[in-house]
Amino acid sequence: MEVSYKWLQEFIELPESPEEVGKLLTSTGLEVEGIEKINAVPGGLEGVVIGEILTCVKHPDADKLSLTTVDVGADQPLPIVCGAPNVAAGQKVVVALVGATLHPTAGDAFQIKKAKIRGAASEGMICAEDEIGLGTSHAGIMVLDMEGPASRMPNGTPAARYFNLEADYQIAIGLTPNRIDAASHLGTARDLKAVLNRPLRLPSVDAFAINNTDLTLNVQVDDTTACPRYAGLTLSGLTVGESPDWLKQRLLSIGLNPINNIVDVTNFVCHDLGQPLHAFDAAKISGNQVIVKTLPEGTPFVTLDGVERKLTATDLMICDAEKPMCIAGVFGGQYSGVSAQTTSIFLESAYFSPTSIRKTAQHHGLKTDASFRFERGIDPNITIFALKRAALLIQEVAGGTVSSAITDIYPTPIDAFRVPVRYRNIDRLIGIKIDHTEIHRILDALDIQAESIEDDGFIAIVPPYRVDVTREADVIEEILRIYGLDNIPLSANLSADSLSEFPKTDPDQWQSRVSQLMAANGFYEILTLSLTRPAYNDAIRQSLTGDDVTLLNPLSDDLSVMRQTLLFSSLETLVYNLNRRQKDLKTFEFGKVYHKVKLEDGSPKYVERMRLSLAMIGNQNPESWLQKGQPVAYHDLATAVQRVLNLFRIKSFETQPADTTLFQYGLTYVVNKKPLVSLGLVNAKLTKLVDLKQPVFYADFDWQALLKLASGKIRYEEVSRFPEVRRDLSLVIDKAISFEQISRLARQTERKLLRTINVFDVYEGENLGEGKKAYSVNFMLQDTAQTLTDVTIDKTMQRLMAAFEQELGAVIRK
């Protein structure tokens, strides 16, 4: 769910920055997943300010140019050469400072630089409206009204503030299913109200008035179980058209596209107050009737997207005297909606049963903003307020009059939840004793009233829009999330009546699972001695973490120390098999390695750690009539390593070059800044120690680190019904930059839409320049909530390209 920072400020005073607001929301349980700056116009008018022309004289060497000095709030006025015919001293104007990038209405963006024009210095530009993207006129510079807001703003004021075009911020919240009460700007502001202890500013509907009753419809609800409350009114004399800028900006700030002024108001109120609305063209309602009912199984109905759907017998429908018009709370009909010819509407505001809407939405595979809210449970008591607010807004943006009384069918009002709460249970579950005054302040701020307050507890009266707060534990959770988990000391006396059992990781079980995996992929398990030759440890001494563990009474010099790696055990096993004409081998081994370190007092400490090793030599597949033998390659080993990581559900890791003492080339995978596995081609100097002349690919896992990352939890996600989009880039970068750096930067820059990133070509050549290489990279983008538009895709790719250019010095080839 996305909310707008500026939109939130309409409900509550927020001097805090968007980032600070994000932290506050996360602390209350509304986890903020990202904050994105939204400019009202391209470039956001950054570097453009209000200035005042102090002097203006003709340029001595150019008839059409003027030399001006302009006060922009700096220590000294700026000299600016201007070619506009209407420039004059005393004017308040719009000035682009040096360094500002302007985005004109037509043409490409350009940057303002210091210049000399006909010998005169110019340090800025006095702008016309088309030069800053606010119009099409180029007849002269913009001259601001000296009697208007410009006269009250000091010189140097950002132009975005003067034109009310300051940037907004889109705050993405990972809304959990139980918190549908927060699925609006009002709902989000309620949490901020509670945590900041500030009042809400609700919009006023006092101006609402019924102008006449010339268009009164007969409204009837046949199924009050599926529709406990249904309200509506009519408006006449409307003019359907484009919405005003403020309304379009509000919708765009949360990712919605404006449609027309009537539909935009219904969408605005849905995200403003959390109450979905629907507008019907009144001229298309037959028989002057609106009936809420179900229809026979299999009844055909064409929805707004042009698809004919077969209704079930439980689908609640909004009908007129002759036909169905809308699937209640889910999707409108193709023939009853607002069009450019609409002059009167029936405006609906209702509360539908969550169970009914959920069944219908799932059956037809429809997920809309309305069904998302209805099927989880909205506020049944905001229905009329939202209706009045929408009616006033429609009159503001489309004219017209309210031409009927409000119909409100609500036979059985939905009661608040009554929850007994005991203070001792609050203290026990939270772990500390919270002052009773603070408890009731928090609950009151959350619109949860207290009745029958006694020494040991009270009755919490929970409003029906809080469908997730129905038990004592739920009320206590509300107290805790606003009080703040960070305010609970680590020494708090936390307790519970019961704890779920979380079994410890079983190393033997995991070892068995890995063994089965490797055997299934053609690997043979080996078991070797822990004693080894001192020469082996000496060959890799610089990469070892401690001293050798030496036997006091060895049987021979060849077996006089404990091994510090499984590598040589594996190499000796390969040699043994090669000498017996077994040339294609894949082995794995679980074994311990040993070393010792000195403590501060000089005494030795002996360390043993479990490792897992993989080794591959010869051909990946044996030679046959069907195919020639394919030599083992690095990626064959990397695939085996990835299978092990997948078994442990380890999806993300960083990479760095492997230790060159052990490997000619390879990588080390790092998780939480600790090496997890190293893999690559074994250094030829080491294979020579065991008289092995063939290339060997080897991987070495830290088994104990693997076990710490083991997880028994499986997370499933629904396959998105929205398509992926592929975009390719060619990046010319320094040879020292790895693909891992590109991938990491891309995922840091775009966390929401980027699904995969892959390099499909690498090129090096003289025409790129010395020390350069070109990566051809594809990016797969996908939004799980909607189909990506070209605007969103282009915006995402521009952000990625800018990051590559700024952080990696990349040159984008097109």
User: Does the annotation place 123 within a ligand binding site?
Assistant: no
- Helix residue ranges per DSSP H, 150-300: 159-162, 185-196, 245-253, 261-273
User: Does the annotation place 659 within a ligand binding site?
Assistant: no
Phi, psi of 112 (to 5 degrees): -85, 130
Amino acid identity of 267?
N
> What DSSP designation does 581 have?
T
Q: Whole-angstrom Cα distance, residue 31 to residue 269?
A: 23
Q: Taking CA 199 as the corner, what is the angle to CA 198 and CA 200, rounded to the nearest 5 degrees?
A: 125
* Contact between 141 and 86 (Cβ < 8 Å): yes
E strands of 369-477, at which residues?
Answer: 401-402, 407-409, 417-422, 449-451, 457-462
Other CB atoms closer than 10 Å to residue 531's CB: what's the count?
17
Q: Whole-angstrom Cα distance, residue 322 to residue 333?
A: 14
User: Does the annotation place 369 within a ligand binding site?
Assistant: no
Distance of CA 27 to the CA centre of its chain: 17
Q: Taking CA 637 as the corner, what is the angle to CA 634 and CA 639, rounded to the nearest 5 degrees?
A: 110
Q: Whole-angstrom Cα distance, residue 124 to residue 367?
A: 51
**Bridge-based pairing state of the strands 725-734 and 697-702:** unpaired
Other CB atoms closer than 10 Å to residue 576's CB: what's the count?
12
- Provide the β-strand partners of residue 780: 726, 756
Q: Whole-angstrom Cα distance, residue 521 to residue 425?
A: 55
Residue reference for tokens 């190293």: 678
Q: Whole-angstrom Cα distance, residue 437 to residue 231?
A: 39
> What DSSP designation does 356 have?
H
- Provide the β-strand partners of residue 116: 121
Contacts of 288 (CB under 8 A, 6+ apart): 217, 218, 321
Q: Whole-angstrom Cα distance, residue 714 to residue 124?
A: 59
User: Does the annotation place 478 within a ligand binding site?
Assistant: yes
* Contact between 782 and 730 (Cβ < 8 Å): no
Q: Whole-angstrom Cα distance, residue 761 to residue 739?
A: 11
How many residues are present in the chain?
A: 814
Q: Whole-angstrom Cα distance, residue 322 to residue 326?
A: 13
Binding-site positions: 468, 474, 477-478
Binding-site positions for Mg(2+): 468, 474, 477-478
